[in-house]
Amino acid sequence: MTLFDPEFLTCLLREFRGSMRDLLSELCDELEGPYRRPAGTLGLQPAFGRFVGGSLKLEDYSGWKVVGWIELLNDLLYFIDLREQLRREREHTRFASDLYAECEEKFYESSYAEELFPRGEPTAGGLERRLSDLCVRLAQQWTQGSLFLAPGLPCAWLAREGRRLWTVSGTLAPNFERAELGGRLYVGLEGAYLEPPVGLRRRLAGHDRVTFLIQPNGIQLRTGRAIVPLLSMGPPPGAQWRYVPPTVIRRGHADGGGRLTLGEVLRYGKDRSPRAVVMPPAGLDDRIRQALGVIEQAWPAGAGNLTTLTSRIIPLEARGVVSFSYRHQPGLSFINMVERDQLDLIDDLIHENSHHYLNLLLRKNRLLRGDRNQEIFYSPWRQSLRPPRGILHATFTFTMGAMLFEQLSAHGARLSDLDLLRARARCLEEIESVEYSIRDLLGPARTWGWLTAAGLRLVRLLEREIARVRRSLAPWRNAVMRSRYGPALRRHIHKLEQARTTYGRAG
């Protein structure tokens, strides 16, 4: 295993794409087989799902839009199965308790646990109704998502099937999970959308729930009593609404690989929860291009991984919210652009890209043995106890961060003297934190059998990399300790020593 081999990464992506294509086919088999009746009740059309899948290129199956669409169907089938089990189950209290624990383990990135258990406890009363409501929501979301992955697909499918009309319930509400504006219809795989004419936009305001009327010759949208054209298959074919392409930050290769787009801004409220999706301010794309240029100059290998794995950036307008990404939307990075300066932006781009990379590795290999969610290991970054999964993610991503700061330290790469000093201080801080967590992963986690052979190889690789980075930073350590960053670094080292005393010595 190597971290910066383009051929290795290309092979991983090829296998991942094949596995997602196979998963879509298997899910459609289930919906047409043992779950045919509940699928029909929910209005699902697995045959159309196959039709959509057949229209996609293999490389599309690693993109955030398609992977998210397939993972959504996977989740839906899981909850359909649970609902069918609950209807046969006599011990509802035990069932609710088991499901509550499973949701906390499997769906820590989603709102499913909150939807099924709004009181924050495994309540059995009303669980079947909440499961049914969740299935309805996911079914509608998946079906609407399938309509516009490529223009005109549902019309072509109806024509092939000899059907005259397909009615689909949908929504024009903003989507916080993908940072999509309300009142628009997002189409394609990169974040383009259809915008209604100004007059219609005013009429649609406040009417989130809509119905799509699909016919072989086009698609209409019904809201209330009004029916308006959306897409015509001709002659001449074309969208009746204005097509707005995504903002392109990096054009990528001739085959489409390496393309990077800028999404809309996800705005948060004072309670640190998303409140709105708004257009990005002017100049934001240039700021990101400058950050990418610094990475390319200082660390070509890291820039190569970034080009391969990150395809869309969602800016966050949020105070107190760190950048993040989702496993089920690979390549989509949510980056805080308010409280963070340019050096922080460079760091965040690499950090979220590293999550994409580790998630890809986790799809290829089982790195941890057992679904363990115990918060047992001290996290130097969160300064709280975290489960092994969280420690592994942090160790991987912050090792990448340390390598970034090492390269910035060595090359200077268009940084000011102050930022250069801060990069070295950040690197030394990450070295201490990563080495702390590696001791836990190679100590008790290994002793207790929680690391698989593949997981052990990965952690050993990170151990070698961070040791190399420590040697590389040695010439600047004394200068950092004498600088304005020295006291903070000493406090950080002391806090880690205290944590080791409090939570036990690893190994």
Residues 117 and 82 reside in one and the same domain: yes
Residues 433 and 483 reside in one and the same domain: yes
Residues 285 and 350 reside in one and the same domain: yes
Q: What is the pLDDT of residue 469?
A: 97
In angstroms, the CA 199 to CA 354 distance is 44
Report residue 387 as tokens: 């489960």
Tell me how many domains the chain contains: 3
Domain range for 430 = 257-503
Q: Is residue 319 part of a domain?
A: yes
Q: Is residue 353 part of a domain?
A: yes
Boundary of a domain, candidates 144, 177, 207:
144
Cis peptide before 475 (omega within 30 of 0): no
CA distances from 143 to 49, 66, 368 (A): 8, 13, 34
Q: Is residue 252 part of a domain?
A: no
Q: Is residue 250 part of a domain?
A: no
Q: What are phi and psi of 307, to 5 degrees?
A: -60, -35
Residues 137 and 156 reside in one and the same domain: no
In angstroms, the CA 347 to CA 96 distance is 42
Residues 53 and 200 reside in one and the same domain: no
Q: Is residue 55 part of a domain?
A: yes
Q: What is the pLDDT of residue 420?
A: 93
**3-state SS assignment for residue 368:** strand
pLDDT in tens, 281-301: 999 999 999 999 999 999 999
**3-state SS assignment for residue 195:** strand
Quick one: DSSP state of residue 59? G
Residues 341 and 489 reside in one and the same domain: yes
pLDDT in tens, 102-153: 887 777 777 898 999 999 899 999 999 999 999 999 999 999 999 999 888 9
Q: Is residue 240 part of a domain?
A: yes
Q: What is the pLDDT of residue 507?
A: 44
Residues 288 and 239 reside in one and the same domain: no
Q: What is the pLDDT of residue 373?
A: 62
Q: What is the pLDDT of residue 254?
A: 65
Alpha helices in 310-367 (DSSP H): 342-364
Q: Is residue 226 part of a domain?
A: yes
Alpha helices in 92-216 (DSSP H): 92-106, 112-116, 127-147, 153-161, 198-204
pLDDT in tens, 211-249: 999 999 999 999 888 888 888 886 655 667 889 999 999
Residues 390 and 333 reside in one and the same domain: yes
Residues 336 and 287 reside in one and the same domain: yes
Q: What is the pLDDT of residue 8?
A: 92
Residues 116 and 175 reside in one and the same domain: no
Residues 308 and 382 reside in one and the same domain: yes
Sequence-ordered list of residues with C-beta below 8 angstroms from that of 50, at least 6 positions apart, any chain: 24, 25, 28
Boundary of a domain, candidates 193, 220, 245:
245
Predicted structure pTM score: 0.93
Q: Is residue 274 part of a domain?
A: yes
Residues 223 and 140 reside in one and the same domain: no
Report residue 258 as tokens: 């390496």
Q: Exposed, middle or buried, 27 (CB in 10 Å: 0-12/13-18/19+)?
A: buried
Boundary of a domain, candidates 144, 177, 208:
144
Q: Which residue, 286, 304, 287, 303, is CA-closest to 295?
A: 303
pLDDT, mean of each 10-residue run, the chain (507 residues): 87 96 98 96 96 96 97 96 91 91 77 90 93 96 95 93 95 94 94 88 79 94 87 68 93 79 96 94 94 95 96 94 94 91 95 96 88 78 90 96 95 84 97 96 86 94 97 96 97 96 69
